[in-house]
Structure 1
């Protein structure tokens, strides 16, 4: 069984094993950024040396809106916060525009307080990448990469800054018996173009059912991760861990809705699931962002596997 955002039932199971409890933060409606980033580097080193008991995660933090959720998140006393993308709504090819919006997020009192107290790690989705539903065609990806990694205090020597194919990464927390691995994917840098529905009548029919404008991409060239990231992910799934958490900026298990999910790329989705099944020897939790609601999803193995 593979679970996505399966927090409540999993938390009791992991508590019995004295491993991990996850606190879910729903989609998220001064000091300088440089100082805050430096503080994050220090917190990361300290956090990774001890076992975690509580993790919070979320996405979709519009910098121009109030964000009262941060006080509730801090009230749950997490030791780590995972940002799953749309950390700002940049939506521009101009790095100066994105930088100004990161500054607005940094100035939010609740977020500032969170960063001063715990480690925050992050990947991106489309809006902080730079364009709505953008993929490999986005022209300012290098500038966006630098802005995000600088903002979240990524070390200057990090491979995330120089990889030719994105910002994917992983973290290990705790010692054997309480070891938690967090894998953050990059579903933007290498993603091929999404297939759009062209027929106007079909577009209208789908819109009436609140379904999106995208169709299934069946081309052999359609991809999300890229081969380098696939090879890296396979290696990561063989790292010793007692619990594995994989952060996906878009939904994995949701059936096809016409909006942006793994279901738009069924071959990639099936490849991902088969890879997890091949190496699963420990609990795996998939956490995802993008949509502005929370849900628990799962798929069960069939008689044929």
Structure 2
């Protein structure tokens, strides 16, 4: 069934949607090769009390995993009873409840489900919020994740003799205060180089160990905020430029294979891509946002690393990894199997 689904999507992409076809920068895998595949679906910015239109479409994609990219609910509260009730309401959304019975669910949080808009280390209820988040994710009470700060985690999947590692990052629990930008229409500007952190030292040490010791064919980094897009005035890794440089250096020095980013937060979906010295393939950041609401009146913003155009309607992300040929096929998905944009990359 998965092969049939992939063939039909590829046929649609090549012959039925010009804008998507024009964005494919490398040949899609030939279906006749029948490679081992691993299918990831992900998304962010989801309101439990709004229409949740995509869960049936996500199930139709027959994913191996669903990844929450953050803002999984919109709580914005230090009232933990209110937050827990919202998570419980989301858990009972009919389509999502069906998904959780058939597909493994993992993920991270962002500011609105963390509890504080644009919040970071200063949020006073972050430890209480973490436990409620782990409950929602179905993390066992005996897990070591219950006793450490932050929701970061490593997940590894075997497909025959191939391996996919998904490293879910926490860009909230340890993140330093942001620097306000006095310029109109810009919320934040980069901090002074060397000041502040996104991940915090404990999480950095964990990530370095995971990448340096990884034998996976693909290493997926899930970050709630964008990593590559650096020119807009909102939350992003580039608000801490030294942390961006540290990540780039780690990716190169670790020699981990097939590193790519999945991100959310922005209420738009887009592909960003850059060549990184010392890396044999381009670095891609696939932003998918949002699931229930989006930046519908988006009028443009600079991103010199963008491939294609911004998708400002609701959507979810679909990533098909061809583990035999070491390639990835990225798709921004609308309802009923509509491919809004696509990108292919050889690794």
* TM-score band, normalised by shorter chain: 0.7 to 0.9
Which whole-Å CA distance do the structure 2 matches of 1:11 and 1:77 have between them? 23
Give how far 1:256 is off. Answer: 2.5
TM-aligned CA distance change 1:158 to 1:10, over 3 Å: farther
Q: Which runs of 4+ in 1 moved over 3 A?
A: 7-20, 302-305
Structure with the bigger percentage of strand: 2
The residue aligned with 1:18 is: 35
Which whole-Å CA distance do the structure 1 matches of 2:133 and 2:279 have between them? 43
Deviates more, 1:101-110 or 1:125-134: 101-110
1:56 aligns with 2:30: no
Indicate the SS of the match to 2:216. Answer: coil
Which whole-Å CA distance do the structure 2 matches of 1:78 and 1:303 have between them? 32
Paired residues of 2:252 and 2:278 also in contact (CA < 8 A): no
Which whole-Å CA distance do the structure 1 matches of 2:54 and 2:136 have between them? 20
Which whole-Å CA distance do the structure 2 matches of 1:82 and 1:239 have between them? 20
The residue aligned with 2:255 is: 280
The residue aligned with 2:238 is: 263
Give how far 1:175 is off. Answer: 5.5
Give how far 1:57 is off. Answer: 0.8
Which whole-Å CA distance do the structure 2 matches of 1:87 and 1:295 have between them? 19
TM-aligned CA distance change 1:221 to 1:103, over 3 Å: same
> Which 5+ residue runs of structure 1 have no aligned equivalent?
1-6, 21-52
Q: CA RMSD in A?
A: 2.4
Which whole-Å CA distance do the structure 1 matches of 2:279 and 2:219 have between them? 25
Paired residues of 2:195 and 2:240 also in contact (CA < 8 A): no
TM-aligned CA distance change 1:304 to 1:181, over 3 Å: closer
Deviates more, 1:240-249 or 1:151-160: 151-160
The residue aligned with 1:88 is: 73
Give how far 1:303 is off. Answer: 9.0
Paired residues of 1:176 and 1:242 also in contact (CA < 8 A): no
Structure with the bigger percentage of helix: 1
- Aligned length, in residue pairs: 256
Indicate the SS of the match to 1:296. Answer: strand
Once the two structures are superposed, the pairs formed by residues 227-246 of structure 1 within 5 Å of their partners are 227-237=201-211, 238-246=213-221
Which whole-Å CA distance do the structure 1 matches of 2:26 and 2:89 have between them? 35
Which whole-Å CA distance do the structure 2 matches of 1:273 and 1:77 have between them? 33
TM-score by length of 2: 0.69
Once the two structures are superposed, the pairs formed by residues 181-220 of structure 1 within 5 Å of their partners are 181-197=165-181, 199=182, 202-203=183-184, 207=185, 212-218=186-192, 220=194
Indicate the SS of the match to 2:221. Answer: strand
Give how far 1:18 is off. Answer: 3.2
